[in-house]
Structure 1
Amino acid sequence: MRFTDFDAQTFLREYWQKKPLLIRNPWADWHNPLEPDELAGLACEPHVESRLISQAADEIALEHGPVEEDRFDDLGKAPWTLLVQAVDHYVPGVAELIDPFRFIPNWRIDDVMVSYATDGGGVGAHFDQYDVFLIQGLGRRRWQLGGLCDEDTPLLPHDGLRLLAEFEPEQDWLLEPGDILYVPPRIAHRGVAVGHDCMTYSVGFRAPSRDELIAGWAEEAASLDGDDDRYTDPDLAAQDNAGEITGAALARLHAMIAERLNDEKAFARWFGAFATAPKNEQLDWQLEDPVTLDTISRTLESGQVVLRNPASRFAFISEEEGEVLLMVDGECTPCTAETAVFAKALCAAPRVEIQPRQIKREVGVLICDLINRGCIAFEQKEA
């Protein structure tokens, strides 16, 4: 999947987190990568996050998956919508939809949610806290966009859905297959299927909140020191009132915390693990029969192509003297020399060609570890 007429630099400068943009079919050759029946099958799986939204009169009902196979037969003619999260983890063709958007850093990419709706189906007017590209895959959907929302925007009372109590459309577009609508964070929007068999692919981006960062980093920082790192006051002087917590004591206590929290190298390592942590920790991609380094070394002698697992998250952090910290699914691996070069290549593209002359033992060790963890695999060569 690739674009033929799209300027990423112009988009980042003029639209990213600023204003919506409708992009009329920019694909070199658009084709819908997933059939409705396949999406329904995924929704029936217990390890796949899914939601079924049905409409009756003015009420919107929400059911969490897994969805029973015969449930779709019971829905009747009233509009309904099926939402399936992280479909890119399971369908390579859906994972490829992310590739054209990799001008945005990998750690910001969340997943691809896929929705299927019957005529009139939708999830109601709402707003998200993250950026999203809405790709029309099959059928047509009308999108209406409103103004900017915040924490004071009134919502309808509903368990599980954050629906706007008031919605005034300011823009109105009808999307055909291959069209893309970019919606920045906190912009009110509503999508309604026009006709049956309407499928939309939502490429969403992560936006950690300040509270998430503080809570996660503080927990990590607290684990870095033992109980021996304690408050001291060797210059203690007698106080007029023993009940006072003095400014000097408060300053010393605050400095103890600030010194740890301001450790930029430790924060970088923690954030790399945080940003690449698996979306679904219940999924285990590890090989049941681990391969050995000898096997990997022999395989690499003929040259290979390495493929990333679409469900794995890859990122790296540059350190001094060309060293990098490779972060994969929440685990950190320090890399130097040829291993650092390979790590960067692996983070840059989902497919990496390896020539025999490029392979050093340390690179083989890294490849062996990532294969056994299920993060990468060798591309299967045609007979």
Structure 2
Amino acid sequence: MQLSDFDIDLFLRDYWQKKPLLIRNPWAKWRNVLEPDELAGLACEEGIESRLIVQSGETWVLEHGPFAEDRFSQLDGAPWTLLVQAVDHYAPDVAALLDPFRFIPNWRIDDVMVSYATDGGGVGPHFDQYDVFLIQGLGKRRWRVGDQCDRTTPLRPHDDLRLLTDFEATGEWVLEPGDILYVPPGVAHDGVAVGDDCMTYSIGFRAPSRPDMLMEWAEHLVDGMADDDLYVDPDLKAAGNPGEIAPSAIDRLHAMAVEKLLDRDAFARWFGQHSSTPKYADADWRPDEPITIEELQALARDGATLARNPASRFAFLRQNDGVLLLFADGSAFPCSGASAALAEQLCAQDHILLDPSLSGAMEMLAALVNQGSLAPADDGDEDGD
């Protein structure tokens, strides 16, 4: 599915990370891509992150999955909401919802969370630290948006949910199937189901925080440093006062501390690997049996297709020496020539056609298959909307 009559440049200029935007059904032909029973089934599976929020008056109670199959039939009529993270990893039609938003770089994509709510269900007024497109899939939901929030905004005392103490709406809309609401980071919002069978697809975009990025970059550097990389001062002069830390010592210590941090090329390579690490790093998507280069070559002679794992993250980086670095699920692959063009294709498309002309890239493709980033496509995998 693709968006029609949507001005990307206008959106990025006037709305992205600036203010909310209601987009009335922009799809050429909208259809709901996941049934409520399928969502409930995912919430019952081990290894899939899910939550159930049951509301009683002004009280919200949170439960974490996986849930027993009969859990939802036990709810006593109070409004409730089921939320399942990263549904795009398990449902190809849900993953396809990301395609119209690929004008935003892949490394910014987090996942597609899907929610189902009964009449009156919601998660309460809150704000998020990421950009989100809220696509109404089934039923209706009333959305209210409010002011910009930050870490000083008062929150209700709740052990599990970050609910706003005070919420005053500045805008309100009822979304019907196919409608989209964009909400920038920090903007207060509250969505409440209008009627039963309300499904919403939340396409979230992550942004690294400065503290986390600095800490993880520094930890990466430290892991590669020798224990005997010590401060040295062979030109030491006699101290006038033994209690003084001399300016020359501070200069040397500061340079010692920041020298590696300022290596832009090393940072770029680290960030490519870091940002392409899967959302759930413990998930194992590797094939039961490793594929060989010879088997891939045979598939290429047959004109087979490789499909990208929806749970995988692909990105690339152009280097000054003309080499392109492909990042896939935390691994880096230097590419040049035809392999570089293939790497760009892998980042832009979810399928590639194998061809004998790709013989120089077979080693890389085999590695990608064997780490679970790519897989030979079934015939049905290539069908589009």
* Structure 2 length-normalised TM: 0.97
Alignment of 1:55-70 (within 5 A): 55-70=55-70
Alignment of 1:2-41 (within 5 A): 2-41=2-41
Read off the aligned partner of 1:324 and give its amino acid letter: L
- TM-superposed CA distance for 1:31, in Å, is 0.6
SS state at 1:279 partner: coil
1:372 aligns with 2:370: yes
Contact map agreement 1:315 1:347 (CA 8 A) in 2: yes
SS state at 1:76 partner: coil
Contact map agreement 2:133 2:182 (CA 8 A) in 1: yes
1:142 aligns with 2:142: yes
1:307 aligns with 2:299: no
Residue aligning to 2:80: 80
Separation in 1 of the partners of 2:146 and 2:220? 40
Read off the aligned partner of 2:284 and give its amino acid letter: D
SS state at 1:261 partner: coil
Alignment of 1:127-138 (within 5 A): 127-138=127-138
**Residue by residue, what CA displacement relative to the aligned partner does 1:287-310 show, whole Å, maximum 9, x if unpaired?**
111111111111112323321100
* Structure 1 length-normalised TM: 0.97
Residue aligning to 1:100: 100
**Structure 1 range deviating more: 11-20 or 243-252:** 243-252
Separation in 2 of the partners of 1:11 and 1:269? 31
Alignment of 1:169-184 (within 5 A): 169-184=169-184
Separation in 2 of the partners of 1:57 and 1:279? 34
**Residue by residue, what CA displacement relative to the aligned partner does 1:247-277 show, whole Å, maximum 9, x if unpaired?**
2111101101111100011111111111011
Alignment of 1:181-260 (within 5 A): 181-260=181-260
5+ long unaligned stretches in structure 2: 381-385
Separation in 2 of the partners of 1:226 and 1:48? 39
Separation in 1 of the partners of 2:273 and 2:321? 22
Contact map agreement 1:312 1:328 (CA 8 A) in 2: yes
Alignment of 1:44-55 (within 5 A): 44-55=44-55
Change (3 A) 1:381 1:74: closer
SS state at 2:256 partner: helix
SS state at 1:27 partner: coil
**Residue by residue, what CA displacement relative to the aligned partner does 1:5-26 show, whole Å, maximum 9, x if unpaired?**
1111111111100111111111
Change (3 A) 1:60 1:381: closer
Contact map agreement 1:47 1:282 (CA 8 A) in 2: no
Separation in 2 of the partners of 1:67 and 1:158? 22
Separation in 2 of the partners of 1:85 and 1:288? 26
Read off the aligned partner of 1:365 and give its amino acid letter: E
**Residue by residue, what CA displacement relative to the aligned partner does 1:86-139 show, whole Å, maximum 9, x if unpaired?**
000000000000000000000000000000000000000000011000000000
Separation in 1 of the partners of 2:301 and 2:321? 29
SS state at 1:146 partner: strand
1:283 aligns with 2:309: no
Separation in 2 of the partners of 1:299 and 1:152? 57
Identity of aligned residues (%): 59
Residue aligning to 2:267: 267
- TM-superposed CA distance for 1:229, in Å, is 2.4
Contact map agreement 2:299 2:354 (CA 8 A) in 1: no
Separation in 1 of the partners of 2:198 and 2:371? 37
Change (3 A) 1:381 1:68: closer
**Structure 1 range deviating more: 365-374 or 144-153:** 365-374
5+ long unaligned stretches in structure 1: none
Read off the aligned partner of 2:254 and give its amino acid letter: H
Separation in 1 of the partners of 2:133 and 2:353? 30
SS state at 1:157 partner: coil
- TM-superposed CA distance for 1:381, in Å, is 3.3
Contact map agreement 1:322 1:340 (CA 8 A) in 2: no
SS state at 2:379 partner: coil
- TM-superposed CA distance for 1:354, in Å, is 3.8
Residue aligning to 2:379: 381
Separation in 1 of the partners of 2:37 and 2:270? 41
